[in-house]
Structure formats: C-alpha cells, structure tokens
Amino acid sequence: MLTVPTEIMVLMNGFAPLLDPRVWEYAKVLVIGAILAPRKRTVTSALRVTGLQADAQFQNYHRVLNRAVWSSLQVSKVLLALIVAAFVPPDAPVILVVDEKLERRKGKRIKALGYFRDPLRSSKKQAVISAGLRWLSMMLVAPVPWSRRPWALPFLTVLAPSEATDTAHGKRHKTAPRWIRQMLCQVRRWMPDRDLVVITDGGLVAIETGLHCTRLRKRVTYVAPLRLDARLFDPPGPQPGGKRGRKPRVGKRQPTLRARLHDPHTVWDTHEVHGYGGKRRTVQTVTGAALWYTPGAAPLPIRWILVRDPEGKLDPKACFATDPDAFPTDAYQPVSTLSPFQILGWYVMRWSQEVTFQETCAHLGFETQRQWNDRAIARTTPAILGLFAFVVLLAHHLCGDQSLPVQQAAWYVKKEATFSDVMVFVRQYLWTHVQFANSQANTRTLTIPADALHDVLQVLCHAA
C-alpha cells in the first residue's frame, strides 16, 4: 500500500468515513494512481504507476468501483463543501453551471449506451451522431488565485440515457431539464442558507426549470440564453369589475427580441464587458422585464438582456435571469446588491465548463476508461470529472500563500497558469513525497544525479 503524506491526507480524510476502512485503502491507491497515470485511466494503469502490478489481489481494486458499497452522492456532497470553503467567500453566492458531455463508447454490454448529437464533430450545417453515454455535470464556477478567469470545478455528475434506451430497458425516462431540477434540489438541501445561481446552456433551457427555481423555499437565480423569438408579455392588469371567468395569466404581448434588434427606435447602451479570458470587449445592450410564456406552462418572470456587437463581427445574443429585481454589480458580491447588467457577466461564465471538459480529456484520460459493469460505469466517469476539482483543490492547499509555478519554454510564454501547470505541480509533489510500494522483493539503491532526477520528473509530470 501507499504511504500518503499528511498534507494530502488532510483533504482526503474528509472522504474516509464514506467508505469501509478496507475499501478506503484501495480507493486511496486509485486516486493517487489516476493523478499520476499517463494516457488511459483504468484500474490497471493506476496499479502500474503506483508499483502494484505484482499484487495478486488486484481484483480488490476493481471491486471499489463495481461492487463496494458507497454513495457517490455523498462523495459529491463532501467535494462541494471542500471547494466552496476554499474558493467562495462566505457572503458570496454559489455560482453553478450545468452542461451535458458525451462520452463516446462502444460495446454491447453497456446498457445505457445511446446515440446522441456529437457537439465536437457537428457543425451548424451538419449534425454528426455518435454512440456513447450522455452525462450531465454540475460545476462550481469560482475564482482561483493563479488565473484571471473563473474555473469550473465539477462535483456532481449523473448519467442521462436517451428516451429510446430507457424505453428498451423498461425505465421511466427523465429529460435533461428534469435531471437538472433534481440535481438542484439536492444542492439546495446541502446548502440551505447559501444564495445559489445556476447557469445552463441553450440546449438545456426550460421554463419549468426557471419556475422550479422560483418555487424553492429559498429562491435560486436561474440564468440561461433566450431565443430571439421567445414569447414575452407584460404582467396582467387588474380584473375588470363584474367580469366573470379566470384571471388572465399574462397581459399585452411585447415585441420579440428579434423585432427590437431591427427596430431603429430601440435605444442601445454601450458598455465595456469582460469577455472570455479576461479580454474587454465593447458591446451594445438593451434590457427589460417580461413574463416568458409558453402554452402548457405558467408564465415565468424574467429580466432579459439583448446584446449586439457594434462592429457586426459577432451574432446578437440574448439571455435572461429569473429574478428581475436583483442582479449583481459584481458576480461574487452578495445577491442583495445585484444589478441587471451583470446578467451578461454570469452568462459569460458558462464558457469555463468547456475548458474543464477539454482539460479533463487532455490530462485526466476522459473516455479512456473501459468498465462494462453498470455500477462501475455510473461511478468512474463522475469520479474522473470530480478528480479535476480535487486536483485543483490539492494544488491550492499545497501552494498556500505562494504562487503556482508556471511551466515556460522559449517558444511558449504563458502569462498565467493552466490546468497542465496544476497537474505538473501536484505530480511533482506526489512523486517526491509519496512512499510507493515496490513490486520486487530484492531492491538495491542507485545514486541518481539531481539534474538527471529533475529531468526524469519533468517528463513524468508532463505526461498527458
């Protein structure tokens, strides 16, 4: 077994009560091995990199994922508490972003396998369908000390099969917005007193989600993109005296956002906003309050904002939030100090999740796992995504008051650290502080020059 230093166990001990003590010893090996292993993130690769390839009881490590009794939901709860305590001030809202991710897989034994639109291979003109597993991942968007942009840290991921797959196995189908509402209820139970903001992308927008956020005992602010042809209405007026019948749900219909976009009488405000990567961009905006209404659902009170590029290089966009009376002047200020314009600031934050998905594929071996067991599949992918947040948390804990080292080269100058620098920093600490199990009974000591050892560690730590 491994001997993990105290600095790391301070964070890992929060998960120890969730597993049986014997299972916990095997789980620690898988976590350290998953961080250090290059390329594939399988159980065998974790054992090889930690020097346990000769362990005859290797099946015990597989059983952590496919047989052991533990709750991944409780693991998500502990992980969320740790990253919120580390990166979110006590009086700031907890900003969450939810998006779907396709894990391309093949195999007859994978029951949840379905066919979905592949966003990485598709374009506006042509949609590419790929076989795989669809996951919905909820992430905490928070500032980190070594970057100008906020990072999205995954903590809760659920499997969302297609309707055809659920029907084939006799299960009741849940749509993606319904999964999001269920995840949001769980987070609200975990954090009953914190102000929550949840952001979704265009494919996951639903009026029902917004209504659900407004009906919770402590409201959740819902931010999402809005179609330019959405049906917007004024609030209903008072019921005329003596008129019988049900009171109208909505009042007079407002012009669509597309009509306001082309209306020469629309008054636009010019602002400079912080775009993706901290770059400042000049945009023109117009905002207002309305009831978003679709037959079959209750009207949703929203504050909408329409954005256009004065140079015409970018397509016009619109987004909304469900609390029209409170929006922040700064994304990390208390909800009581909100202002309408910063809906756009929240909306831009959703792009951090795309970076997280890309870095997880590049450095944590997403889509390289090869489990076939239903329970192992349901646990492995959420664990890999959650490992991204744990590695960031570990780097923040190990750095303390010092800055995170940035890996530089003569041909590649970086202004700030990325996740690859985080991985290198954590791996260097693990390689030099963890006492690994040796697979051979007879060993002999070799003297390695410090420069040669440094070069070897650099190669090991930079391995994808």
Q: How confident is the model over 177-230, as pLDDT tens digits?
A: 999 999 999 999 999 999 999 999 888 999 999 999 988 888 899 999 999 999
pLDDT at 50 over 70: yes
Residues with Cβ within 8 Å of 362's Cβ and at least 6 positions away in sequence, in order, are 420, 464
pLDDT at 461 over 60: yes
pLDDT at 271 over 90: no
Ordered by where they begin, the domains of the chain are 6-70+401-462 (no CATH), 72-236+250-358 (3.90.350.10)
CA separation for the pair 79, 321 (Å, rounded):
27
- Give the angle 261-263-267 at the CA atoms, nearest 5°: 80
Confidence of residue 43 (pLDDT cuts 50, 70, 90): very high
CA separation for the pair 130, 223 (Å, rounded):
29
* pLDDT at position 2: 78
- Give the angle 35-40-41 at the CA atoms, nearest 5°: 45
Confidence of residue 445 (pLDDT cuts 50, 70, 90): low
* pLDDT at position 446: 60
Give me the chain's average pLDDT, please: 88
pLDDT at 4 over 50: yes
Of 8-17, 234-243, 284-293, 329-338, the range with the lowest mean pLDDT is 329-338
Do residues 320 and 224 lie in contact, with contact meaning Cβ atoms separated by under 8 Å?
Answer: yes
* pLDDT at position 296: 85
pLDDT at 125 over 90: no
Which pLDDT tens digit goes with each residue over 335-388? Answer: 444 465 678 888 888 889 999 999 999 999 999 988 889 999 999 999 999 999
CA separation for the pair 326, 355 (Å, rounded):
29
pLDDT at 435 over 70: yes
Query: Residue ranges of the alpha helices (H) in 290-373?
Result: 343-348, 352-363
* pLDDT at position 451: 67
What integer is the mean pLDDT of 264-287?
81
Do residues 142 and 199 lie in contact, with contact meaning Cβ atoms separated by under 8 Å?
Answer: no
